């Protein structure tokens, strides 16, 4: 079997509760995109959040944390802008 490229799309089956599926559907409709796009966006954001948490965990004192928090805010702003751009570009 050929090795997948990072740009290849993979198809997966996913089991989740109806409650969670409905929550994703509501958010997808609110954002104007498909369930798939909503799930992918949320998964990608979870990795950004995880990385952010790791950076914060490395903070040794309040001074370091005071430097990291604005970076987190900037990352959040960047994510919001990317979502807006995605929405415009459909």
So where are the chain's domains? 18-89
pLDDT at 42: 94
* Model pLDDT, residue 55: 79
The pTM of this model reads 0.58
Task: Dump strand ranges (E) for the chain.
Answer: none
In the numeric block, the tokens 């994703």 are attached to 24
* CA distance readout (Å), 40 to 54, 71, 74: 22, 24, 22
Local confidence band at 89 (pLDDT 50, 70, 90 cut-offs):
confident
pLDDT > 70? residue 56? yes
């Amino acid at each position: 079997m050929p090795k997948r490229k990072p740009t290849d799309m993979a198809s997966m089956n996913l089991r989740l509760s109806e409650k969670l599926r409905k929550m994703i559907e509501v958010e997808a409709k609110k954002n104007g995109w498909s369930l798939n796009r909503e799930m992918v966006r949320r998964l990608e954001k979870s990795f950004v959040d995880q990385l952010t948490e790791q950076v914060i965990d490395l903070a040794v004192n309040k001074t370091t944390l005071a430097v990291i928090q604005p970076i987190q805010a900037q990352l959040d702003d960047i994510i919001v802008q990317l979502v807006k751009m995605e929405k415009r570009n459909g």
